[in-house]
Amino acid sequence: MNSKAKDLERVALGIMVMFGLHWLYSLVIRPHLPLVELAAGIIGIVLLYVVGTGLFFRITKDVDKQPYALKEKSRVSVKTVLLCLLLHCTAFFVMNILTAAGVALGCEGPSTDDMSMTGSMVFMLLVFNPIVEEYVFRHLFATRLLKYGERFYVLASAYCFAILHGVSMGPIHILYTFILGLIWGYLTVKSGGLILAILMHSISNLFNAVIVQKLLDISVEAVGAYSTVIMLLGVIGLIIYLVNRKKVVLDGTSGLIDRQALKDLFSNRGIWIYTVITLIVMVLKAVLK
């Protein structure tokens, strides 16, 4: 096994243990704790982002870490930022198409009962989650994997970020968050830092979660009108991307994903273990629901 495969395996297993600890707590332990919701939630966050991150560092301790910030900061063009914003709408469009297809096939639609936009929930979506998740999936992955290639890093970080959202948000959100992960990974590479990725993550949660939930308090029709506008912007973004896709350059050549990066990712033992465990947890969550 070469160094690239070994390092990816350690990173994948580190993320699996990190979130596996959180899933164990959420599915098995938390329902039996005689605690108020806030206290139980705080314990879950500490287990995930304090204990879990510590375990991730432990598992990846032998991976050679390299700084990824550009020696000369690269300024991402306004056109690129605007296109990335439109591609967030494309991800929303894809998710809505998949949701509609699932409902048409008799699958249960997404529930919004547990997504009331309290002040703490808005803080988590707009501040805490963007900062912490981008630190984990963009920063920690970059310091360990970017040395093996920009496409390899962007694909690995996006995939590992997306697959676990099948547990927290449902299988339909996997492709949605995968597209977002590709965008944020690309911006991390091109800017040499996390600021743009964090801002985009926060904006995505604002437009595709917070505003949607707020509009649900008004009427279903308001959500429908808003979603239609976002999806139209998503179609525009997809067309612009397809026309200009050769201008997306990673590793010195055009294109966002290549066959070698896909082969390196899906032939990796750690990725397979991570994927299988995540799918098992998805099923268990559905059964225990």
Give per-residue pLDDT as tens, 76-107. Answer: 899 999 999 999 999 999 999 988 887 777 76
Q: Among 85, 79, 1, which residue's Cα sits nearest to residue 264?
A: 1
In sequence order, the 6+-apart residues with CB closer than 8 A to the CB of 149 are: 250, 251, 261
Of residues 145 and 170, more confidence is placed in 145
pLDDT over 90 percentage in the chain: 75
| 251: DSSP letter | T
Per-residue confidence (pLDDT) for residue 283, from 0 to 100? 92
pTM more than 0.85: yes
Our separate counts of H helices and E strands in the chain read: 15, 2
User: Distance between CA atoms of 284 and 9, rounded to whole angstroms?
Assistant: 24
> How confident is the prediction for the chain on average, in pLDDT?
91
